[in-house]
Structure 1
Amino acid sequence: MEYQHGGDIYTNNVIMDYSANLSPLGLPRGVKEAVYKAADQCACYPDSRSMKLRKELSGFHGIPPEYLICGNGAADLIFQIVQALKPKNALLIAPSFLEYEQALKASSCNVAYFDLKKENGFQLREKELKNWLEKSGLDFQMLFLCNPNNPTGFAVNKEGMAEILEYCRDHGIFCVVDECFNEFLQEPEQYSVLDLIGRGGYENVFLLKAFTKLYAMAGLRLGYGICSQKEVLDQMNLIRQPWSVSSIAQAAGEAALKERSYVEKTRQLISCEREYLKSALSDLGFQVFDSMANYIFFKDLRPKALIREKLLYKQLLDRKVLIRSCFNYRGLDHTYYRICVKQRKENEAFLSILKSIVTEGK
């Protein structure tokens, strides 16, 4: 089976991984200590209902604990929500995260696509989506929205999202909103639909969040979902594996919620270094799109890149640097790439290698 995502340091011999979008500060100290301590409890089964973690998340977000469900990473919950609702027809924004399509097709769901336009910078415009839905005449039961979108990094503000969610509510479409990268935004609350769910009236929404990216916990696997429709969560609980969230992951999540200064430091670092990288990539001749998250989406405009498949990916891999080729995203070709944002010293080293590749070809 071909590896479909970033972070494949197992197949490739790399010394620098720019393909996985995690906090550049690494695992927080408090989380690491919680992991060590939780290891002593590994002889016991974990709490299948993640009650303590859900209680902590309830207080953290200001929502009832019964709105919450935890999973073995966000991907686990993506498959669960699809299996729970079993839509016959679903709509995906393209390009976007690959796991949505995989989960839908595994459930024998028919998938249609709303293709983002290059001339619009691959940005989702809520009115265009609504008009397309109106004119399509298709009966959709589910829509996935990744905000900020992966791999493009653009986010739709809360007002725009509300417009889409209200349309879907009125037309019987259940929305899965993926906010796994929301906390990397400069003003995350301006783009989150969390308070909409908390206020009520959006029972057609399942909000997806994860510890994976923000706290650099990819290897621990911990995600959670928020939904005010009890029947949806009940159905998910019926089909999920009973011990899908380990006791170590639960302890790590509880500790992570206390790392507020870590989150703020991460956000400030990302904001500064993202602009630094975007400017540098543009100066090197790449077409850089307007990412707002902790990753940058760009296109290789070199003439030889048009005729040599995944040229930049291969050139960097020869130097033991891994980036994310976006070739397997719908609507993109082998000239599109995504890189994460790291700390300045790492970014300078990466750009030095990239500059040597670009200049040697001139």
Structure 2
Amino acid sequence: MQAIILAAGMGRRLGELTQNNTKCMISVNKVTLIDRMLTQLSRLDLSRVVIVVGYKGAELKSFIGMRYDRQLKIEYVENPIYDKTNNIYSLALAKEQLQEDDTLLIESDLIVEDSLFDLILNDEHPNIALVAKYQTWMDGTMVCINDDLNIVNFVPKKAFKYDDTDHYYKTVNIYKFSKSFSRNKYVPFLEAYSKALGNNEYYEQVLRVITFLDNTDLKALPIGERKWYEIDDIQDLDIAETIFASKEQMMERYNKRYGGHWRFPKLLDYCYLVNPYFPTKRMKDEIRANFDTLLTQYPSGMYVNSLLAAKYVNVRQDYIVVGNGAAELIKSLMENTKGNVGVVYPTFEEYPNRSCDGENKIVAYIPEAEDFSYCADDLKSFFADKNLSMLLLINPDNPSGNFIPKADVIQLAEWCKEKHIRLVVDESFVDFSDDFRNNSLYDNDILDNNHNLIVVKSISKSYGVPGLRLGFLASADTDLIQRMKKDVAIWNINSFAEFYMQIFGKYTMDYDAACRKFISERCRFRERLEKVPFIRVLPSQANYFLIEITEKYTSTQLTQILLEKYDILVKDGKSKKSLQNRNFIRIAIRDSKDNDKLVDALMEL
């Protein structure tokens, strides 16, 4: 068995990174692609490695040098017209070598886990293409396979159809060809194809022609959950460095992205907090049916969108301002707040982080209870002698899940009014509480009676639409509302978010059903979690649990293991102030299927 590596391309899409070296000399986490690949190949029983070079070929040969001479016999093939041809020509230049032995054909811009080479070499079939089930990040050649894992069609970019993606597999660009297959099928067709259509093509096109014949013997070998990535541009490089990071660095790399985890389809995200049961398929279908119009039309300004938001939560239009997510409104509110702010820790850090004077104006209250529980009277007692301009209440609280009943919050608002304190209540998670239909403060009478009360709601959380970036802030202090409306951009939300608000009323019964279903799943999930012997689950009225690790692991160790071994991302409590010296994680509550995966992983550990 030999290996042929195609490394002649220019890698233009990587910009500055390939100005002075070829693509396979790019480093992923401080190891070049070519070094990683040659190290992997050196562990195999190979007769030789043939590298087809072109762009910056001399630099690549010099870089490799003689470092692998003891493990590998390396030969080179030159493609002098790499800038005028595609990889079909590079492979044609190595056609003699291709016919001399069974071959692993590999593209040089890949990063793969070691097990992929064992997988393909240990398979009994002589002619194999490694394939991965289609995911949205994948580009290039796709294949269709039958029940016997025969490749029945290669699908080039021009023939790609999004309606057919359920049936597509992406070629990983690692192939195993027998000497017989190369001699009797691939090379003859390669020569004929190049003669007829030229050299500015891809070698997979030859395989596509071959698959039209009967008895091609070319099998697909799905790689399952094994890790791999193809690096064509700087975003690919960033994602690859995240997927293949060390367990110590992996969590940091995911966290600094602040979302965008849809680029990692195998990841189970237990950090970001959304309703797993809403929106419904029917609602998504309605948005999808209007996609073209929404994509190509401007959204409305604040006048229309505040009208839609007022209808959404049933308050007066002049009481509400719409934000590009609650984060935009929090920024506007906190950066224009003067004086001391009372905060319950641990908390959602966005509020104190946005205070214009930083930590000097934060008055921190840390509950003494083991489960971080507290009530309205606790807040009154602690802040009674503090000089506050604002008191912040996250209700249910994040990350503890503590919940203060509505009647008690109203009493707290009245207490704050007497002390000339502005009470900010973030009720982004209130619809996950047991009596959710009666717990919201979005009520004209409540707001009228408490002009010092500000109610914030992130629509991302309980409504399950974080991609829309939509949030509300309401208050009977209309001067504040008007200032904030002027503070945000004229078009601060997009047409999709606007349309979502417009149609939501038709789906309120579905939303109520989703919330009830969620509450039932939270109860079931907690019962399963409580059987895990090394954790303590705190009670919660939100869509997450704060969990203490009581033995066996630190919170950091557990988050690293879950991510590295199970592709499960949970929140390490050490990132929260007042939890740095404690052993807590926070986990979202997802649907029953995902939740069982997490419990199974914990039980296995």
- Tell me if TM exceeds 0.5: yes
Secondary structure of 1:287's aligned partner = strand
Which has the higher relative contact order, 1 or 2, with Cα contacts under 8 A spaced 6 or more apart?
1
Residue in 2 that maps onto 1:321: 568
1:204-243 correspondence runs (5 A): 204-243=452-491
> Which segment drifts farther, 56-65 or 204-213?
56-65
Instruction: Give the whole-Å Cα distance in 2 for the aligned partners of 1:105 and 1:65.
Output: 29
Select the residue among 105, 111, 114 that pairs with 2:362.
111
RMSD: 2.5
Which whole-Å CA distance do the structure 2 matches of 1:257 and 1:146 have between them? Answer: 26
Equivalent residue number for residue 360 of structure 1: none
> Which of residues 233, 255, 270 in structure 2 aligns to 1:18?
270
The CA distance in 2 between the partners of 1:309 and 1:341, in whole Å, is 18
Q: Secondary structure at the match of 1:352?
A: helix
Could you tell me how far apart the structure 2 residues matched to 1:62 and 1:10 are?
33
Quick one: which of 289, 292, 301 aligns to 1:48? Answer: 301
> Can you list the C-alpha shifts for 1:293-349, whole angstroms capped at 9, x where unaligned?
2211111101x42xx451211110112111122211121135211112222222222
Structure 2 residue identity aligned to 1:234? Q
Using the alignment, how far apart are the partners of 2:257 and 2:354 within structure 1?
15
**d(CA) in 2 for partners of 1:185, 1:261:** 17
Is the CA contact 2:279–2:511 (under 8 Å) kept in the aligned structure 1?
Answer: no
Alignment deviations for residues 231-275 of structure 1 (CA, whole Å, 9 cap, x no partner):
101111222122111122111222234322321222122212111
Deviates more, 1:29-38 or 1:218-227: 29-38
Structure 1 residues 241-252: aligned runs within 5 Å: 241-252=489-500
Cα contact 2:390–2:423 (8 A) shared by 1? yes
* 1:108-187 mapped onto 2 (5 Å cutoff): 110-119=361-370, 121-135=371-385, 138-187=386-435
Residue number in structure 1 paired with 2:174 = none
Q: Secondary structure at the match of 2:497?
A: helix
Greater alpha carbon shift after TM alignment, 224-233 vs 272-281: 272-281
**Counterpart Cα distance in 2 of 1:167 and 1:145:** 14
Structure 1 Cα separation of the partners of residues 475 and 350 of structure 2 = 20
CA distance in 2, matches of 1:11, 1:327: 26
Counterpart CA distance in 2 for 1:35 and 1:251 is 11
Distance change (3 Å), C-alpha of 1:134 and 1:153: same
| Segment of structure 1 superposing worse, 205-214 or 66-75 | 205-214
1:210 to partner: Cα distance: 2.5
Amino acid at match of 1:262: D
From the superposition, tell whether residues 22 and 241 of structure 1 become closer, same or farther in structure 2 (CA, over 3 Å): same
Q: Deviations over 1:50-91 (max 9, x none)?
A: 51x43343334332111111000011111111234x222111
Amino acid at match of 1:298: I
Number of residue pairs aligned between Structure 1 and Structure 2: 349
| 1:310 counterpart (538, 542, 556) | 556
Contact 2:274 2:460 in 1 (8 A): yes
Write the letter of the residue equivalent to 1:283.
K
Q: 1:31 to 1:338 in 2, by over 3 A?
A: same
Name the counterpart of 1:330: 577
Aligned partner of residue 463 in structure 2, secondary structure? coil
CA contact 2:340–2:361 (8 Å) conserved in 1? yes
Equivalent runs, 1:90-105 vs 2, <5 Å = 90-105=341-356
- Alpha-carbon displacement from aligned partner over 1:150-198 (angstroms, at most 9, x marks no partner): 1111210012111211111111111111011111122124432233754
Residues in 2 aligned to 1:316 and 1:158: alpha-carbon distance in whole angstroms: 37
Percent of aligned positions with the same letter in both sequences?
22
- Specify which of 284, 287, 301 is matched with residue 550 of structure 2: 301
Query: Residue type of the partner of 1:111?
Result: I
Higher mean alpha-carbon deviation, 71-80 vs 250-259, is at 250-259
Larger radius of gyration: 2
Superposition deviation, residue 41 in structure 1: 4.2
Pair 277,6 (structure 1): closer, same or farther in 2 beyond 3 Å: farther
Task: Tell me how far 1:111 sits from its aligned partner.
Answer: 1.1
Q: Give 5+ residue unaligned stretches, structure 2.
A: 1-251
Amino acid at match of 1:276: R
Query: What is the alpha-carbon distance in structure 1 between the residues aligned to residue 314 and residue 468 of structure 2?
Result: 25
Report the TM-score, using the length of structure 1 for normalisation: 0.88
